[in-house]
Amino acid sequence: MILSPYPPFTWAKLFYFHIIYFSMTFSFSLLQNSGILKARTITFHELQKEGHCMPSYLADYHTHTHLSGDSKSQLWENLNAACQAGIPELCMTEHWNLLNQRGERLPTHYDFDAVLNQWAALKDDWAHRVEVRVGIELGNSTVDTAAVQACLDFPELDFVIGSLHSVSLDLGGIGIFTYAKSCTDPQRANSVLEDYIRQMEELAEDGTFDVLGHIIYPLRYFSPDFHLTLDPWQDRLDEILRRVIHSGKGIELNTTQGTTVRQWLPLLTRYRELGGEILTLGSDAHRPQFIGAGFQEAAQMLQHLGYRYVCTYRQRKPQFHSIR
């Protein structure tokens, strides 16, 4: 005999309720999978009203899709992820590298048609949910500054990240990621950092960007056993930051998909001390689930350091949004 905590009539009702519940759940699933019933995407403004949104206008200005080559994300997936995370604005910043991981030169021109076309195909459904801007992540532009500058005269372009993904041609031009993964000597690692700072000085001088991208990039990939920092180059970094500030440009806080926020503390402290104001947030998401990753922590850190704004861009001009 089975003993039940429920009286017989209650137990029967409970059993009947479970039958009804699972039938409804199964039917709902069939409708959803068949496309008859579609899940509704909540917008930023709805999340804000319901109190589930980030406290500030924190736009993700470093995102990738399959057009970048090292990502399989579709744009609609990134847009949906932005809505779910309460990210009101997203900038498409596909890779345009002038060197590949093997150190081979790549084309010094970029065709923006694919970027524009993927947004055009989605615009009617998504424009009222997420603000979308056209950007580019330009890697190692100092290989051919003149050719790059001519290509950037593109009317639909809102934003340019200037990044360094490779060592200089003097060291073979191979990708820093590739170099770091095979590096077993801290002295060689420091030679890469020296080369990186020298390239960044040249990039800051050329000015083919709106913000300098992921300045602490090499520290991502070298062995933590090397205990590398950019401290030995602080004086030169200061000059780079001063040049950025005086030229009306900025830097990005790249969260590396939410994993490196605290590593930015020394650099952001110094940037603020030097008078830096123009700053964008970027997740560097190569998968949808990382859109906006680490932004809450980043915003709190920026507020603690005395920053007042984060920026978005329209036609290469910064727009300031309060984070206080």
Residue 35 lies in a domain: no
Exposure letters 142-179 (e unless 16+ CB within 10 A, then b)? bbbbeebeebbeeeebbbbbbbbbbbbeebebbbbebb
Instruction: Say which residue, 179 or 21, is predicted with more confidence.
Output: 179
Residue 261 lies in a domain: yes
Residue 68 phi, psi dihedral angles, 5° rounding: -80, -15
Residue 18 lies in a domain: no
C-alpha radius of gyration, the chain, whole number: 24
Residue 52 phi, psi dihedral angles, 5° rounding: -105, 10
Residue 226: CB atoms within 10 Å: 17
pLDDT tens track for 76-124: 999 999 999 999 999 999 999 999 999 999 999 998 999 999 999 999 9
pLDDT value of residue 63:
99
Residue 3 lies in a domain: no
pLDDT tens track for 125-176: 999 999 999 999 999 999 999 999 999 999 999 999 999 999 999 999 999 9
Q: What is the CATH number of the domain that holds 153?
A: 3.20.20.140
pLDDT value of residue 56:
80
pLDDT (average), residues 3-8: 40
pLDDT tens track for 257-291: 999 999 999 999 999 999 999 999 999 999 999 99
**Which residue range forms the structural domain that includes residue 193?**
43-322
Exposure letters 75-84 (e unless 16+ CB within 10 A, then b)? bebbbbbbbe
Q: Answer for the pair 216, 262: CB distance below 8 angstroms, yes or no.
A: no
CA-nearest of 68, 221, 65 to 138 is 68
Which residues are CB-neighbours of 230 under 8 A, at least 6 positions away? 193, 197, 215, 216, 219, 237, 266, 267
Residue 34 lies in a domain: no
Residue 28 lies in a domain: no
Residue 98 lies in a domain: yes
pLDDT (average), residues 31-53: 43
- Provide the pLDDT confidence category of residue 55 given band limits of 50, 70 and 90: low
Q: What angle do CA 211, 216, 219 make, to 5 degrees?
A: 155
In whole angstroms, what is the distance from residue 167 CA to residue 64 CA? 22
pLDDT tens track for 166-218: 999 999 999 999 999 999 999 999 999 999 999 999 999 999 999 999 999 99
Q: Answer for the pair 305, 279: CB distance below 8 angstroms, yes or no.
A: no
| Number of independent structural domains in the chain | 1
Q: Answer for the pair 284, 214: CB distance below 8 angstroms, yes or no.
A: yes
In whole angstroms, what is the distance from residue 59 CA to residue 264 CA? 18
Residue 2 lies in a domain: no
Instruction: Say which residue, 27 or 160, is predicted with more confidence.
Output: 160
- pLDDT tops 50 at residue 53: no
